[in-house]
Chains A and B, each alone.
Chain A
């Protein structure tokens, strides 16, 4: 059991709560840095995929977990980030160092543009409006064929980083390190955002718009800023996703991806950075795990290869139903309970994380 003795006001908002905390995170980072030396090129690619999904998840997490606005349309911003990054490189000849942040900026601006008319909407209405926007943007990609290549798609060029060329197939480790670097910067940005006045404003809007307004927060502007930051990070993830996939079309970023992204952060644990990573691990490794089990069952019982279409999404759906019913805080919630159990060792009680009983009220008048 550890007792924290606070000696300054900064103790409440420091990035690391104590030295052990710092030690474990630095160790994790070093382990991630060394990863390409320990595993095969194929697995490095898979881990890169996890990091990219986690990046997109963090983008959505700022909106859903921090500001409490549901979005079912974030695949559109993955698409905007991806297309603008590649178009800036291929058509305008900009280097990756400029086109990449610019892609984030463009999708952030697109997010603000979407936010301006939709900030009046709540909960489910916002979700359906973003869903509609996502479908519209998917069609715009098809229609803007001269620049986006329409249904035949675009090829992502090799990344040119200060004269050093990175291709994900030729040099998977370099692409992995690049992604890791971007993820690290975004995690630090996210962490710092949470302890800034803006981050507090996000939390206030999430918990009660009326009290946030009473505290002098401009709710509409806060929501729009949250949309902008969220979609900018998602756009960065989209740009990396384009380089990772090599070739992409409008189908790469359809509505199902939006839904998967939202479900992913719910499984991981809404409202925590860890949740984005846990969810990304599930989304990226579930297909591998399932095909492994399928082969194993097929070989053990001599059934040959079994093909069950739609199995992945069904298993994912079951996992999600389980989490929403029994562990609404997601995988991060499980981890939190486990950690608390060890930290408080003999004193942990089952009721510690009990959900408060709540009742719904409507906003309708009839």
Chain B
């Protein structure tokens, strides 16, 4: 029974990682860039929602604050691309990575200055309520997290495979020049996907903040989420969710069954092993390049 409980809470944690990883994968799938600031964008989204909702701040109703913060983060993502990322168009992946790492520093500082460095938690209607399924007691927040993540992953999976815009996004990442020849407005599509991933960051942030407390340094969860994306296979949406769940499950079990001190290494050890034996993740999408 205890194990089942561990599995469920690991699943919920893993879904949060998966949700952040989904943001990574969206941007990677459509622009070939890797956004290391995704964790910090999540933190920003959480703080914006917190600023709207909490009673000592603006004290707006939760269901009004959620769409507002999602919209605001969408605008943030769009502007980020228009002002900064677009200048890097066509440059190598690694320079975009370095740029977004630096961006993360700036975002962390901005959030710390505006909202303070103490851990705070979001006053959400999910917090502190329990749901029980046949003896397993789950927090309502955990149920909402799992539900939202699975829904979003399925939604984006069909979006990328079945809609014209989704296919155009994939095309613009696979070969920018060829996509231009096909009449795809590559730059506009990139701005759009940055906006979408900003919204994803806001959703992840709201769910994360209603599960526990947040502080400006929480963006470092992004590293774990990135590990999730890589384990699942960068560029695969179900892979992001799978990787997130694997990491989410490995963590509590390692903490329970492995000696203290060794357990926190487990996710990174797993990442390292996956990279060594399956260099492009479990659901790999890269094949050997031929000349």
- Residues of chain A touching chain B, judged by Cβ–Cβ distance below 8 Å, are 70, 117-118, 120-121, 123-125, 127-129, 131-133, 135-136, 139, 142-143, 210, 255, 259, 262-263, 266, 308-311, 313-314, 316-318, 320-321, 324-325, 328, 357-366
Could you pull out 9 A-B pairs where Cβ atoms are within 8 angstroms? A123-B93, A125-B279, A129-B271, A263-B102, A266-B98, A308-B113, A359-B180, A360-B173, A364-B235
Once the chains bind, are B90 and A127 in contact (CB under 8 Å)? no
B275 touches A (CB below 8 Å): yes
Q: Which residues of B contact A (CB under 8 A)?
A: 32, 34, 84, 87-88, 90-95, 97-99, 101-106, 108-110, 112-113, 117, 170, 173-177, 180, 216, 223, 226-227, 230, 234-235, 261-262, 264-265, 268-269, 271-272, 275-276, 279-280, 285-287, 289, 291
CB distance from B170 to the nearest CB of A (A): 8
Q: Contacts of A316 on B, CB cut-off 8 Å?
A: 102, 105
* Docked-complex contact B230 and A143, CB < 8 angstroms: no
Complex Cα gap A361–B172 (Å): 9
Query: Which residues on B sit within 8 Å (CB–CB) of A259?
Result: 101
Asked whether B265 lies within 8 Å of A139 as measured between CB atoms, the reply is yes
Please indicate which of the listed interface residues B104, B174, B268, B286 has the most CB atoms of chain A within 10 Å of its own CB. Answer: B268
Question: What residue in chain B is nearest A133 (Cβ atoms)?
Answer: B272
- Give the most central of A127, A135, A320, A364: most B CB within 10 Å: A364
Q: Assess whether B112 is in contact with A132, with CB atoms less than 8 Å apart.
A: no
Chain A binding site: helix, strand, loop or mixed by DSSP? helix
- Chain A nearest CB: distance from B168 CB in Å? 14
Chain B residue with minimal CB distance to A64? B94
| Interchain CA distance A117-B279 in the complex, whole Å | 10
The smallest beta-carbon distance between A131 and chain B, in angstroms, is: 7
Contact status B175-A128, CB under 8 Å:
no
Question: In the complex, which residues of chain A have a beta carbon less than 8 angstroms from the beta carbon of B84?
Answer: 321, 325
Contact B230 A320, beta carbon cutoff 8 Å: no
Q: List the count of A-B residue pairs having beta carbons below 8 Å apart.
A: 146
A182 and B268 alpha carbons, distance in the complex (Å): 35
Residues of A within 8 A of B170 (CB): 366
Closest 10 CB pairs of A and B: A314-B109, A317-B105, A320-B102, A317-B102, A359-B176, A117-B276, A359-B177, A132-B268, A364-B285, A358-B90
Across the interface, which residues of A come within 8 angstroms of B98, CB to CB? 262-263, 266, 320, 324
Residue of A124, A262, A314 near B34 (CB, 8 A) is A124
Asked if residues A313 and B223 are in contact (CB atoms below 8 Å), the reply is: no
Contact (Cβ within 8 A) A325 B174: no
List 8 extra interface pairs beyond A129-B275, A363-B286, CB under 8 A: A125-B280, A128-B230, A132-B268, A143-B262, A313-B105, A317-B102, A317-B109, A364-B235
The answer to whether A360 and B32 touch (CB under 8 A), given A128-B227, A321-B84, is yes
Contact for B226 among A128, A210, A318, A359, CB less than 8 A: A128
